Structure formats: C-alpha cells, structure tokens
Amino acid sequence: MASIGSLVLMIDLVQLRREPDFVKEALSRRGISPSTMDEIIALDVEHRRLLQEAERLRAEVKDLSRQVGEARRNKDTATAEALMEKSRSVGDLESAASAKTDEVGADLRGRLLLIPNLPSPEVPIGKDETENVELRRWWPGMEQGKPEPVYAEHQRKPHWEIGLELGLLDMESGAKIAGSMFPLYRGFGSRLLRALGFYALDQHMGDYEELRPPSFALTETMMSTGHLPKSQDDMYAIERDDLWAIPTSEVPLTSMLRDQILDPKTLPIRYTAQTACFRREAGSAGKDTRGLLRVHEFDKVELFAYCLPEQAEAAHADILARAEAMLQAFGLSYRVLNLCTGDLGTSSAKTIDLEVFSPGVDRYLEVSSVSWFRDFQARRANVRYRTEDGSTALVHTVNGSALAWARIWAALVETGRQADGSIVLPEVLAPYLGGKTVIPA
C-alpha cells in the first residue's frame, strides 16, 4: 500500500490534523491516552514527509529519463550514459523511499484501525457497564399508576428448567450437536421463536425494506463495521475462504451500499433483516452460561439506516421507539440505559440499551442496543452522498436490534408462567402461533 490516501478505513484523520486537542480529549474519555494519539500524529507527519520525498525522487527519475532521451537524440552518448547512471542511483533511492512509505503507512493504518469512534457529548463517562446511566423504566400498567410488578414464586423458575419441563428447550442436545452454548429449541418453543421473528418483521414492513443477507461475510465487510480487527477473538472465522460468521446483520447491511455515492433525496435508506448471529464470547468464559443467558448462536431482527447527518437523531429515535413498542406489546418490564464511555462499542458514538427483566433469573437482560455511528462506519465502507455544491460527504449510519430473540424468549417464558405450570404468551403473537397463546403444563 503505497499511500494511506483518503483513509476510508479509520477515524477522520483530517479532523485529527485540524483539531488534535479536541480529538485527544474526546478519545481520552474512552480510555485512549493522549500519548497514543501523539504517536499517531507523529507517524502521520512522517508518512506525509516520506510520501513527498518519494514523489520528489519519482519526479527526478522521470526528468532524468527525459534528459537521457534528449542526449541520445543529440548523439551525446557520454552524457546519456552519465544521466542513466544517475537515474539508476536516484531510482534506487526512490524504491527505498517508497518501501519506507509503505512500511510507515501500514503501521499508521494498523494503529488507526484500533482507535474507536469519538463519543457523543451526551455519553456519560464511566469505566464499564456498572457506570451506565439508567434513563427510565417501563412496566405493564405504569401509565395507569400501577407500581412495578411483584413476581410470584411460580414466575421465579429459570427458563432452562421450564424449557426442559415442557419440552421447549433442549440445551443438552444442542451441546451434543455443536458444543456448549448452542441452544436447540423444540416443539412450541421453536414455534415461539419463529413467531417472534415474523411478528417483528411485519411491524417494520413498509418503512424498512426487508432483506435476507448472507450469514457469512468477507474480511472487508467485517472491517466496514469496525468488528475487525478489534473484536476478532469474539467471532467465528472460516480462514480457508476468508469468511466470518456474522455476529449481527448490521455487518452485511452496512456494506449494502459500500463504495457508492448516494442521491441525498433518497435518504434515509432503511433496511431490516432477521438472521442467525454467531458470537464466540471469548472474553466471557464461565459467565452466564446457563440456558439462553449467553449463547454462541441466536436469531435477531436488526433495523438499519443510512442517513444525512441531520437525519441521524430522528433515525435513532425511530429504531428505539420501535424496539420499545414491541417490548410493551409483549408486556415485558424493561429499563433504558445510556451506555457510558467504558461500555461503548468501538464504532459507536452513542448507544442506548434496552434490558428486559427476567424474573426466573432475577435480573435485567440486554435485548437491544440502538447505536449512532456518525460517519465512522461510512468512512470504512466508503458510503457517500452528493452535496449541493457537487462534492461528496460521508453518510451517517444508525442501527439497533428489534429485537434479539433468545433473551426475549427466556423473559416471556418466565414472566408468562402460571401457577399450574402453563405459560401464557402475549396476544399479539396469536396470529403467528395458530391462534394459541397458552403452552399447557
């Protein structure tokens, strides 16, 4: 790679050059030390110096070649030979300078690829998930003044025990087939999972174009979202084919319009997709391994939008509202969290999480992350729009889960459990369950 060029695979280097103190301060809130950024800035200066030197030497070789030709036309063999010798010498210098430029450029690019997005000002500063800020809660009947629900003893049974008891979930067979943390749903449990996906896609139909993307993606596609190189240990790789099992359909949706220049009149462009999602959870060994709390494969409906910068806030609010509306339709209690800088994903400028309360495990479970990425992903995917003056600018991307089904399944089974051991499911799912909303004991 002779030049970093337009740097379509990293943070805005132009902004770093123009506003180094601002960028360093913003990234320091995400744990990136100013000294790290100073090293990158110095590397960028060196890379540009080497580029100029290589270009100067290249121009000198070209000029010497012209002089050699001129000397030969004048039958001046001695001068031509001398110039050729000098050209070879300068050419060696140019080759060395180009090689050094490539080396420094690769180093710069590698470092920049590990730098996260700048956090939005409204993102709270914190070290990890314990410092996320709760914005609000919702529970059935809240609008009518009812207090938060008190769950009965029969609802306090964990979903993996309920699933085994009613023949809905078979973790043992899943482990036998694929290893631990790969669930196998059975009978009505499998039908419930299918119903959730159909219901969600129907809710988004018309406003979001439904896609069914591949479940595998090329390395370049994974780079576009920022999952690579940062999170490669948490993903499944098929090295022989340079493919990765997608951890979310955000990955293929972000690359749908890669390397394109869009008409701003078409924005926002909205997509939705349900896919299987695969995550190795390498950093979570030994934690939350019971039932569906943390699994290697799960189904999820994703909402995604390419938009103009001024459309991003409304696009983010729309996805969040859709996710919340479904949780309310399911009658599940949930809370809304503003993720702090220490819990923010690499590519995200701002993320709002939705967590449902699951009484059988007595805890809140994350079921949706709604994120605004500014132009971070668009820069990596090189997705632009044509501005009024004829130039181009990067779009913004927004996405969110609506919803991730494994934990929704768990919360529904636990919350809906009755004293006789049967399970009552939300009425909104009846059309997708053959009219049935009760799983008998």
pLDDT digits (tens, 9 = 90+) for 280-326: 986 566 677 899 999 999 999 999 999 999 999 999 999 999 999 99
- Computed over every residue of the chain, the mean pLDDT equals 94
Per-residue pLDDT averaged across 410-424, rounded? 98
Per-residue pLDDT averaged across 337-346, rounded? 97
Residues in the chain: 441
Indicate if the pLDDT at residue 231 is higher than 90: no
Identity at 111, one-letter amino acid code: R
Per-residue pLDDT averaged across 202-226, rounded? 95
Measure the CA–CA gap between 195 and 401, rounded to whole angstroms: 16
Indicate if the pLDDT at residue 2 is higher than 80: no
pTM of the model: 0.92
Token code pair at residue 155: 């609802």
Indicate if the pLDDT at residue 94 is higher than 50: yes
In this predicted model, what pLDDT tens digit does every residue of 167-200 receive, in sequence order? 999 999 999 999 999 999 999 999 999 999 999 9
20-28 vs 34-73: helix crossing angle, rounded to 10: 140
Strands 392-394 and 396-404: unpaired
| For the chain, percent of residues with pLDDT exceeding 70 | 97
Measure the CA–CA gap between 353 and 336, rounded to whole angstroms: 6
Q: Which residue has the higher pLDDT, 208 or 9?
A: 208
What b/e sequence results for 378-395 when a residue is b if at least 16 CB atoms lie within 10 Å of its CB, and e otherwise?
bbbbbbbbeeeeeeeebb
What is the side-by-side order of every strand in the sheet holding 363-372? Answer: 133-138, 334-338, 350-358, 363-372, 396-404, 297-307, 269-278, 209-211
Indicate if the pLDDT at residue 409 is higher than 50: yes
The confidence score (pLDDT) of residue 11 equals: 81
Per-residue pLDDT averaged across 10-37, rounded? 94
The confidence score (pLDDT) of residue 288 equals: 77
Per-residue pLDDT averaged across 421-434, rounded? 98
The confidence score (pLDDT) of residue 334 equals: 98
Compute and round to an integer the Cα radius of gyration of the chain: 28
- Give the confidence band of 9 by pLDDT, cuts at 50, 70, 90: low
What b/e sequence results for 270-290 when a residue is b if at least 16 CB atoms lie within 10 Å of its CB, and e otherwise?
bbbbbbebbbbeeeeeeeeee
Going from N- to C-terminal start, the domains of the chain cover 13-112, 129-439
The confidence score (pLDDT) of residue 340 equals: 98
Q: What's the CATH number of domain 129-439, 1.10.540.10, 3.40.50.970, 3.30.930.10, 3.20.20.70?
A: 3.30.930.10
The confidence score (pLDDT) of residue 356 equals: 98
The confidence score (pLDDT) of residue 289 equals: 80
Per-residue pLDDT averaged across 267-276, rounded? 98
CATH topology for the 13-112 domain:
Helix Hairpins (1.10.287)
The confidence score (pLDDT) of residue 79 equals: 92
Q: Which of 131, 155, 80, 83 is nearest to 414 (CA)?
A: 155
Per-residue pLDDT averaged across 220-238, rounded? 91
State CA 115 to chain mean position distance. Answer: 14
